[in-house]
Amino acid sequence: MSIKIDLPGSNPLRPASPVKSSSTVSGTSSNQPVSATAAGDQLRLTGDAINRQQIDQALAAVPKVDAGRVERLKAAVSDGSYKPNPAAIAAKFARFEWDLAPA
């Protein structure tokens, strides 16, 4: 059983209207500059966010490489006194690989 429903003024097979670009809709060309609106938004940071910013700034000031340690290791390698521990190096590599493995 089928039921036909006709609404006044409806045409179920009417063609879709073409999509207009935003420049056509607004009546402006894309070659014209767009004026900025007045800033009305405000942002307030929480105490935690401010502390985080301060910590980030403090950490940025700390050198990423310990220059003193690098010089000591260079000296130890050059004079032959540096004795690497293969077991410790292997353990650190294994731990590194373990940490990289997908969960």
73, 82 Cβ separation under 8 angstroms: yes
Low-confidence ranges of the chain (pLDDT < 70): 1, 6-30, 37
pTM recorded for the entire structure? 0.36
From CA 101, how far away is CA 95, in angstroms rounded?
10
From CA 73, how far away is CA 80, in angstroms rounded?
10
Element spanning 95, H or E: helix 86-100
